[in-house]
């Protein structure tokens, strides 16, 4: 008998249809993945199993867990089930734990709630060890732990009562690749050794491909295809599945580089941050975020910068943009320093633009597109005469219509907003663009389109850019050269293809090994 | 935690020093000579000089400041120009009315606001929430003196449960004293409770949207359990801030209510002293109120750290 059997589950929230006839099956000890892009209904399916749907939800169909239809259970019965036979792990380990309670209290709480036969303290130590945190004091607070450790604690809470089914909703999306690999290994190990069913919800096909026995692909609230992983990967049937695979493995076609003299020269840059004083009169001490970093970007060069969170990527970016002073070394753009006399050098600043990660937070919602994308004009000594023509050109260049100039940002999708962000960067024809995790928040198919757009613009404008990302496959597809950063140092640099095919530094090797890869399939 | 406490204590002392200097300077530059005020306009110049010397008004400003601060540290607040009695004695008498009144009002306000805020948050958008929010809207809008007069009209004049004003005194027993403070405390507390309930509700609603509340629900806690065990403590930071501000206000800001109920509190003392140019009393009471505000803020800072372990770690 299946552990979980969802049949014809439909869901509407305040009258809007969210799920259509979703069916899904999972056996004990099995790993089943649900995948799809944002808005496909995969998280709602998980919440329907937990019966933690938002207010105003109406569900039809059955969700049979271990012989019981959870849609028919009372709230009190569901409370007995949740955390006991049904555990759930969420996406954001940084916020999924109560910041004012110790981790021991939070793990012990589930035990006290459901398992009076167990000693909460002893069980807490046991599950901490089980999730690879043996010896971690249960009296520690979440803020004292790293993201990976916190996710382990969240998993410990979920498995504390020995659930039959564990639901993991994007459990590694917020984590670095090496941490992601460890957490995925842990989840699979728990499923195999404890005979738990694991329902894995993720947008990342490469993650799915490595661990799931079966995959269910969802689109717009409906299951479009489901099957055994090897079969589905080698011969996807549904056009959407094929498109998803194609987008995941997408390689943007960069035009041949035309490289010239160096445009950006970074020389032995050091950036220190003062640490809090430990005593009243003691020296505060410093943290070296960027440690003697040197590299060049030639005019027309497309350079990637990869590394895990906390490696100094963002600090280096801020220094390049002239937002902060550096303690030693120099950063020159076109021979001129980016930061001088205590403030960013405006002559240089107008030659650089940046595209940020979050297409939602980086626009003032009350401004129209025409005003948003012309913001960089403030950097020019006098605003250009042909303002409207420049707006139309920038919008056309990024695949939008000049008519969009009078719209507000909320009228655009995430991918379109990222196009707007690129239009904003292009409008003053900068010599250098910094893409700071510019495609990380996007779905795979949108990401593929934006990467194609960047490649196209490379040909039209002979762009020079620094592309910062934690996603190795993206960097591989969109850059000619790559820098690998660890603990504030550049540990490896070289032509992108050389570094990826034959990494020399052990850290680069670890990164590349840890990154999940989608098996190459024939999607034609 | 020790270092945090020490740092807060240091900042408390610095604040007090700055506050005393500012109060002294502001009041000293205020126009009006206490000596000529006390003796009337027909006073002789040599009598005025003698009185100024007696009051210490002929000394340099620095000497007077140091004398004032030095005295206060030893509990000597000087002598009132007007009544010729020790200021410390006058303040102590009044404090026995104002401090219990403030604490009484604060307790009432908390007892009303916490349950109301929690109830409204847990029934967001439903009839209970709308009812509580409507009531707090009215509570915030109505001035407390009007409210005080209504209380007098209903409970003192019509029902005759309480006296309409005056203070029975602690020597008549705690019950009689508290009884005469009850109507003023309610009048002071209700607008404060309305504000506090709204803050409590919105702080809780913010917390309810947090990811860890979903984790708590996924653990098998009911909505109510999750709210009480994981929501409340996280919602306390904004609530504590408002609570601290309210206590300071209640201690000093009861002037109108003290007038309405004819209570011999600090507010009335300060009011009378200003009219009489009794500078030494005004300075001392102001300093005392500043001291109270700073000490309450210190206590609130310590309470923050007790609630949130991240604050303990940061210092």
Closest-CA residue to A214 (of A193, A198, A237, A203): A198
Give the pLDDT score at A522. 46
Length of chain A, please? 524
Q: In which band, very low, low, confident or very high, does the pLDDT at A505 lie, cut at 50, 70 and 90?
A: very high
Is the pLDDT confidence value at A155 over 60? yes
**How many angstroms away from the CA of B231 is the closest CA of chain A?**
9
Tokens 């941490």, residue located: A179
**Average confidence (pLDDT) over A129-152:** 88
Most confident of A113-117, A253-257, A279-283: A113-117
Tell me how many residue pairs between chain A and chain B have CB atoms under 8 A apart: 76
- Contact call for residues B87 and B79 (beta carbons, < 8 A): yes
Rounded distance between C-alpha atoms, residue A469 and residue A438, angstroms: 8
Closest-CA residue to A312 (of A486, A60, A439, A160): A486
The sign of the dihedral angle between the CA atoms of B135, B138, B144, B149 is: negative
Q: Do B216 and A98 touch (CB under 8 A)?
A: yes
| Chain B residues with CB-CB distance to A82 below 8 A | 217-220
> Within an 8 Å CB–CB cutoff, is residue A85 touching chain B?
no
Q: Where in chain B is the domain with CATH 1.10.3720.10?
A: 92-313
**Average confidence (pLDDT) over A29-39:** 89
> Within an 8 Å CB–CB cutoff, is residue A83 touching chain B?
yes
**How many angstroms away from the CA of B216 is the closest CA of chain A?**
9
Q: Look up residue B260 and give its two tokens.
A: 């309405």
Q: What are phi and psi of B59, to 5 degrees?
A: -75, 170
Q: Do A143 and B219 touch (CB under 8 A)?
A: no
Q: What is the residue-averaged pLDDT of chain B?
A: 84
Distances (CA, A) of A409 to A400, A412, A488: 13, 6, 36
For the CA atoms of A365, A366, A370, A375, what is the dihedral angle to 10 degrees?
A: -80
Is the pLDDT confidence value at A63 over 80? yes
> Within an 8 Å CB–CB cutoff, is residue A276 touching chain B?
yes
Count other Cβ atoms within 10 Å, centred on residue A513. Answer: 12
Minimal Cα distance from A47: which residue of B?
A: B218
Q: Do A276 and B230 touch (CB under 8 A)?
A: no
> Within an 8 Å CB–CB cutoff, is residue B84 touching chain A?
no
Give the pLDDT score at A415. 84
Q: Look up residue A296 and give its two tokens.
A: 């060049």
SS (H, E, C) B124-157: CCCHHHHHHHHHHHHHHHCCHHHHHHHHHHHHHH
**How many angstroms away from the CA of B304 is the closest CA of chain A?**
11
Minimal Cα distance from B233: which residue of A?
A: A100
Q: In which band, very low, low, confident or very high, does the pLDDT at A523 lie, cut at 50, 70 and 90?
A: very low
> Within an 8 Å CB–CB cutoff, is residue B217 touching chain A?
yes
| Chain B residues with CB-CB distance to A79 below 8 A | 220-222
Minimal Cα distance from B212: which residue of A?
A: A96
Helices (H), chain B: 2-29, 34-39, 45-55, 61-73, 87-122, 127-141, 144-151, 174-208, 211-218, 223-226, 232-252, 255-260, 266-275, 279-307, 309-314
Minimal Cα distance from A277: which residue of B?
A: B315
Give the pLDDT score at A106. 93
For the CA atoms of A8, A12, A15, A17, what is the dihedral angle to 10 degrees?
A: -70
B273 CB-contact burial (10 Å; exposed 0-12 / middle 13-18 / buried 19+): buried
Tokens 């989608």, residue located: A518
What is the C-alpha end-to-end distance of chain B, expressed in Å?
8
- Contact call for residues A447 and A41 (beta carbons, < 8 A): no
Is the pLDDT confidence value at A10 over 90? yes
Superfamily name with CATH number, domain B92-313: MetI-like (1.10.3720.10)
Which of B4, B8, B209, B212 best tests the A interface by mutation, with the highest count of A CBs <10 A? B212
Q: Do B234 and A96 touch (CB under 8 A)?
A: no
Closest-CA residue to B132 (of B114, B148, B122, B117): B117
CA atoms within 13 A on the CB side of A162: 8
- For helices A387-397 and A444-461, the axis angle rounded to 10 degrees is 130
Complex ipTM, two decimals? 0.80
Q: Do A80 and B220 touch (CB under 8 A)?
A: yes
Q: Do A99 and B212 touch (CB under 8 A)?
A: yes
Give the max Cα distance, chain B.
Answer: 85
| Chain B residues with CB-CB distance to A100 below 8 A | 233-234, 307-309
Provide the 3-class DSSP secondary structure of residue A10: strand
Q: Residue A288 has what DSSP assignment?
A: E
Q: Do B229 and A109 touch (CB under 8 A)?
A: yes
Q: What are the residue ranges in chain B where pLDDT is below 70?
A: 29-41, 55, 253, 313-315
Q: In which band, very low, low, confident or very high, does the pLDDT at A504 lie, cut at 50, 70 and 90?
A: very high
Q: What are phi and psi of A217, to 5 degrees?
A: -105, 130
> Within an 8 Å CB–CB cutoff, is residue B61 touching chain A?
no
Give the pLDDT score at A524. 38
> Within an 8 Å CB–CB cutoff, is residue A155 touching chain B?
no
| Chain A residues with CB-CB distance to B229 below 8 A | 109
Give the pLDDT score at A26. 92
Minimal Cα distance from A98: which residue of B?
A: B212
Could you tell me what percent of chain A has a pLDDT over 70? Answer: 98
| Residue in B233, B307, B313 nearest the CB of A143 | B313
Q: What are phi and psi of A481, to 5 degrees?
A: -125, 155
Which residues, in sequence order, are CB contacts of A147 under 8 Å at separation 6+? A93, A94, A174, A175, A176, A179, A309
Is the pLDDT confidence value at A465 over 50? yes
CA atoms within 13 A on the CB side of B205: 14
Q: What is the residue-averaged pLDDT of chain A?
A: 88
**How many angstroms away from the CA of B289 is the closest CA of chain A?**
30
| Residue in B211, B313, B315 nearest the CB of A90 | B211
What are A9's strand-pairing partners? A22
Most confident of A218-232, A246-260, A269-283, A334-348: A218-232
> Within an 8 Å CB–CB cutoff, is residue B215 touching chain A?
yes
**Average confidence (pLDDT) over A276-287:** 70
């Amino acid at each position: 008998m299946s552990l979980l059997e969802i049949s014809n589950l439909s869901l509407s929230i305040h009258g809007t249809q969210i799920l259509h006839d979703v069916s899904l099956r999972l056996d004990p000890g099995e790993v089943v993945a649900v995948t799809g892009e944002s808005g496909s209904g995969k998280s709602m399916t998980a919440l329907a199993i937990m019966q933690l749907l938002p207010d105003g939800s109406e569900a039809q169909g059955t969700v049979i867990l271990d012989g019981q239809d959870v849609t028919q259970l009372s709230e009190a019965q569901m409370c007995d089930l949740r955390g006991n036979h049904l555990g759930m792990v969420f996406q954001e380990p940084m916020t999924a734990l109560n910041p004012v309670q110790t981790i021991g209290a939070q793990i012990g709480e589930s035990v006290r709630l459901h398992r009076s036969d167990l000693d909460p303290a002893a069980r807490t130590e046991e599950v901490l060890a089980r999730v690879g945190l043996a010896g971690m004091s249960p009296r520690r607070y979440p803020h004292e732990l790293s993201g990976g450790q916190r996710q382990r604690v969240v998993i410990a809470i979920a498995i504390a009562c020995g659930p039959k089914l564990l639901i993991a909703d994007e459990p590694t999306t917020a984590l670095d690749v090496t941490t992601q690999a460890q957490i995925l290994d842990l989840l699979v190990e728990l499923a195999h050794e404890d005979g738990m069913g694991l329902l894995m919800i993720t947008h990342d096909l490469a993650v799915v491909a490595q661990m799931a026995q079966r995959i269910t692909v969802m689109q717009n609230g409906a299951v479009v295809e489901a099957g055994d992983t090897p079969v589905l990967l080698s011969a996807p049937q549904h056009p959407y599945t094929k498109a998803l695979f194609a987008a995941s493995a997408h390689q943007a076609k960069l035009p041949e580089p035309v490289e010239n003299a160096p445009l950006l020269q970074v020389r032995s840059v050091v950036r220190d941050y003062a640490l809090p004083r430990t005593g009243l009169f003691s020296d505060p001490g410093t943290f070296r975020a960027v440690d003697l970093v040197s590299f060049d970007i030639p005019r027309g060069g497309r350079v990637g910068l990869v590394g895990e969170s906390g490696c100094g990527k963002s600090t280096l970016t801020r220094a390049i943009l002239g937002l902060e002073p550096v303690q030693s070394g120099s950063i020159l753009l076109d021979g001129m320093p980016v930061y001088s006399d205590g403030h960013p050098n405006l002559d240089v600043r107008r030659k650089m633009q940046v595209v940020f990660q979050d297409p939602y937070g980086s626009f003032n919602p009350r401004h129209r597109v025409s005003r948003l994308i012309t913001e960089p004009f403030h950097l020019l000594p006098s605003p250009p005469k042909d303002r409207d023509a420049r707006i139309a050109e920038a919008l056309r260049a990024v695949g939008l219509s000049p008519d969009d100039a009078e719209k507000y940002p909320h009228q655009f999708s995430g991918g379109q907003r990222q196009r707007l962000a690129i239009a904003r960067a292009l409008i003053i024809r900068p010599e250098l663009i910094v893409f700071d995790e510019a495609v990380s928040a996007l779905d795979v198919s949108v990401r593929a389109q934006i990467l194609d757009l960047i490649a196209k613009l490379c040909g039209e404008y002979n762009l020079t850019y620094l592309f910062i990302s934690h996603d190795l496959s993206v960097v591989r597809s969109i850059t000619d050269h790559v820098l690998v950063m660890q603990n504030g140092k550049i540990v490896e640099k070289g032509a992108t293809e050389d570094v990826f095919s034959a990494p020399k530094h052990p850290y680069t090797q670890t990164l590349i090994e840890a990154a999940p890869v989608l098996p190459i399939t024939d999607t034609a | 935690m020790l270092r945090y406490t020490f740092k807060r204590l240091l900042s408390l002392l610095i604040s007090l020093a700055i506050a005393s200097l500012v109060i002294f300077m502001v009041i000293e530059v205020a126009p009006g000579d206490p000596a000529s005020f006390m003796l009337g306009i027909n006073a002789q110049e040599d009598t005025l000089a003698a009185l100024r010397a007696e009051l210490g008004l002929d000394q340099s400003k620095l000497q007077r400041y140091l004398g004032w601060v030095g005295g206060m540290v030893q509990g000597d607040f000087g002598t009132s120009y007007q009544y010729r009695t020790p200021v410390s004695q006058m303040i102590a008498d009044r404090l026995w009315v104002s401090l219990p009144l403030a604490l009484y009002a604060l307790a009432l306000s908390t007892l009303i606001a916490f349950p109301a805020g929690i109830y409204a948050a847990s029934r967001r958008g439903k009839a209970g929430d709308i009812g509580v929010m409507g009531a707090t809207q009215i509570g915030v809008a109505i001035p407390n003196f009007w409210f005080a007069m209504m209380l007098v009209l209903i409970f003192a004049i019509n029902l005759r449960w309480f006296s309409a004003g005056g203070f029975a005194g602690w020597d008549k027993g705690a019950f009689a004293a508290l009884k005469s403070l009850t109507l003023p405390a309610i009048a002071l507390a209700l607008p404060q409770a309305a504000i506090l309930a709204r803050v409590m509700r919105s702080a809780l609603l913010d917390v309810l949207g947090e990811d860890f509340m979903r984790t708590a629900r996924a653990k098998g806690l009911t909505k109510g359990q999750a709210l009480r065990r994981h929501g409340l403590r996280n919602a306390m930071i904004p609530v504590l801030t408002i609570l601290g501000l309210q206590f300071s206000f209640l201690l000093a800001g009861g002037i109108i209510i003290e007038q309405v109920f004819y209570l011999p509190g600090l507010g009335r003392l300060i009011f009378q002293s200003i009219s009489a140019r009794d500078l030494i009393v005004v300075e001392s009471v102001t300093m005392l109120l500043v001291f109270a505000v700073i000490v309450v803020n210190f206590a609130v800072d310590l309470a923050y750290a007790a609630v949130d372990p991240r604050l303990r770690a940061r210092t």
